[in-house]
């Protein structure tokens, strides 16, 4: 290829930088936390079998020290001194586990090496900078005899420091499980967020439709009247929901062609009527019925008819009128749970 000659398609493909993961994979990984989990597992490998044995000894020593303090009266020299040494042993075994995590064949015989592996920051965290030397000396020289021969004041001062150190080292041993649990929890929250998002997408059309219908309902708060009123139950106009009559909002007497009529206030363009039948009993009574509209309550025009039993029925049509009524086509009682006009 000479200078100025354009690159071939093959050369352009070789020259172009590698593309990152597809956006869909990045989105999935953001929710699933797969790459973060993998990095955490690499940075914090699991304890080897030998390291796990040392870790169990550390936890057992820490629990033993707690039991010593719980079983004896506070302030007894034997209890304080024994607990100090047992917390020291817990720290020793925890350090052995941390060393063995990197060296599976490590033997816990070299005490100097074990104590020298201790991070100074943990000493400062446990005792404060001014007492680091004292705590370090106690760790290197400690034994049941050493702590038993200390004064009660010295034991009392060292005990919380040794306990803090042992607890901090045990937490360090649990870094892997703590980190992984945090990622798993984060994954659960993100997947829950995804589920809520999917649920929102699924139900939002329903809410939008419901909100739009509520805004377009023509008879909301508008008065209604029935051809007669049964002596039991029924709401007061314009309500269609009331505690004293949960199964129907109006109920006529038994009469020829009973009806319920709605006054929309002014002439309105009507496109749909939704009728909810009574469901606790007697749903067959609302069969058949018609929907009629009028501008003067004298001249009525039929716009829809329904035959057969139903729970909810919708009639769609195009009409313009002020008054709308539903009327049975035979003699019977008439009652409904709800009527919405759109």
pLDDT for 146-189, tens place per residue? 999 999 999 999 999 999 999 999 999 998 898 899 999 999 99
Domain assignment present for residue 120? The answer is yes
Is 191 within a domain?
Answer: no
131 and 234 part of one domain = no
Task: Specify the CATH number for the domain of residue 259.
Answer: 2.60.120.260
Angle, helix 49-71 to helix 152-173, in steps of 10 degrees: 140
User: What separation in angstroms does the CA of 193 have from each of 25, 157, 202?
Assistant: 18, 49, 14
Same domain, 150 and 241: no
The whole domain housing 130 covers 42-177
Same domain as 248, residue 135 = no
| 192 occurs within a structural domain | no
> What string of DSSP letters covers 128-155?
-GGGHHHHHHHHHH--HHHHHTS-HHHH
The answer to whether residues 168 and 66 belong to one domain is yes
Final residue of a domain: which of 177, 209, 243? 177
Give the rounded percent of residues in the chain with a pLDDT score beyond 70. 92
Those residues whose C-beta lies under 8 Å from the C-beta of residue 22, and which sit 6 or more positions away, are none
Q: Which of 146, 177, 208 marks a domain boundary?
A: 177
Q: Give yes or no: residues 233 and 164 share one domain.
A: no
**Stated pTM of the model:** 0.52
Q: Is residue 2 part of a domain?
A: no
**Per-residue pLDDT tens digits for 55-107:** 999 999 999 999 988 876 554 445 889 999 999 999 999 999 999 988 888 88
For residues 164 and 231, membership in a common domain is answered with no
**Beta strands, E only, the chain:** 224-226, 250-251, 255-256, 259-277, 289-294, 301-306, 312-328, 331-332, 335-341
Is there a domain that residue 92 lies in?
yes
Least confident range of 194-203, 211-220, 232-241: 211-220
Question: Are the beta carbons of 111 and 136 closer than 8 angstroms?
Answer: no
**Residue 126, C-beta contacts closer than 8 angstroms, at least 6 positions apart:** 135, 161, 162, 164, 165, 168
Into how many domains does the chain fold? 2
């Amino acid at each position: 290829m000479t200078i100025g000659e354009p690159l071939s398609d093959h050369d352009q493909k070789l020259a172009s930088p590698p593309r990152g993961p597809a956006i869909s994979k990045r989105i999935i990984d953001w929710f699933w936390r797969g790459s973060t989990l993998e990095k955490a597992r690499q940075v914090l490998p699991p304890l080897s079998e030998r390291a796990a044995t040392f870790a169990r000894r550390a936890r057992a020593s820490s629990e033993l020290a707690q039991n010593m303090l719980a079983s004896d009266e506070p302030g007894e020299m034997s209890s304080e001194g024994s607990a100090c040494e047992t917390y020291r042993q817990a720290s020793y075994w925890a350090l052995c586990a941390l060393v063995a995590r990197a060296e599976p064949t490590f033997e816990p015989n070299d005490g100097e090496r074990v104590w020298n592996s201790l991070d100074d920051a943990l000493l400062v965290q446990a005792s404060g900078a001014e007492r680091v030397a004292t705590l370090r000396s106690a760790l290197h020289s400690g034994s049941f005899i050493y702590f038993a021969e200390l004064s009660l004041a010295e034991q009392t001062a060292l005990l919380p420091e040794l306990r803090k150190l042992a607890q901090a080292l045990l937490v360090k041993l649990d870094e892997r499980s703590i980190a992984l649990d945090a990622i798993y929890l984060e994954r659960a929250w993100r997947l829950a967020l995804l589920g809520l998002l999917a649920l929102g997408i699924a139900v939002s059309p329903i809410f939008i439709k419901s909100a739009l219908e509520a805004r377009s309902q023509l008879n909301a708060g508008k008065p209604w009247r029935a051809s007669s009123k049964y002596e039991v139950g029924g709401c007061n106009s314009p309500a269609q929901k009331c505690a004293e009559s949960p199964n129907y909002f109006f109920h006529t007497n038994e009469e020829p062609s009973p009806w319920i009529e709605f006054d929309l206030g002014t002439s309105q363009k009507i496109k749909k009527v939704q009728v909810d039948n009574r469901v606790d009993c007697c749903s067959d009574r609302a069969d058949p019925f018609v929907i009629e509209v009028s501008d003067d309550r004298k001249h009525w025009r039929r716009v829809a008819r329904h035959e057969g039993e139903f729970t909810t029925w919708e009639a769609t049509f195009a009409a313009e009128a002020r008054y709308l009524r539903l009327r049975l086509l035979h003699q019977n009682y008439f009652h409904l749970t709800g009527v919405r006009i759109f």
